[in-house]
Structures are given as C-alpha cells and as structure tokens.
Amino acid sequence: MQEEKMEKMFTVQEVAQRLRVSERTVRNWVERGELAVFRIGKRGYRIAENDLNVFIEKRKQPPEKGQ
C-alpha cells in the first residue's frame, strides 16, 4: 500500500508572518477568494503550501523597465 504524504498546511498567522503582512490582510485575501483555503469547522481554515505558492506566483510583478 502506498503511503500518501500530507501537504504542509499553514495557519493565517503563519502565512502573515511568512509574507510580512497582517493577519487581517491574509483574511481579506481569503474572503475575496484570492487565496484558497481548507476549511476546518465553521470558522477555521488552513492554507496549503501549494495554494500559498500559487498565490505568490500570481502576484509576482515583472521588473520595471530601466532596472
């Protein structure tokens, strides 16, 4: 039987610390549907590492001309 490897999950606080933003900012992204989450119960959720990486990649900006 093949063992499945669990993907790393982050709390709102951990994501906020990693991205150096407030927890409110992370919650805003979730509420707007910009950052995918895994729901835990009625109010809680976790953010999968892969979903966080996708979110970061989508937000990357190309370098400005002349830099």
- The whole-number pLDDT of residue 61 equals 81
**What pLDDT, on the 0 to 100 scale, is given for residue 17?**
98
| CATH class of segment(s) 9-59 | mainly alpha
d(CA 20, CA 44): 21
pLDDT in tens, the chain (67 residues): 555 677 899 999 999 999 999 999 999 999 999 999 999 988 889 999 999 999 999 988 877 776 5
pLDDT of residue 16: 98
CA-to-CA distance for 56 and 49, rounded, in angstroms?
Answer: 11
Confidence at residue 66, expressed as pLDDT on a 0 to 100 scale: 65
List the domain boundaries for the chain.
Answer: 9-59
Q: pTM (2 decimals)? A: 0.79
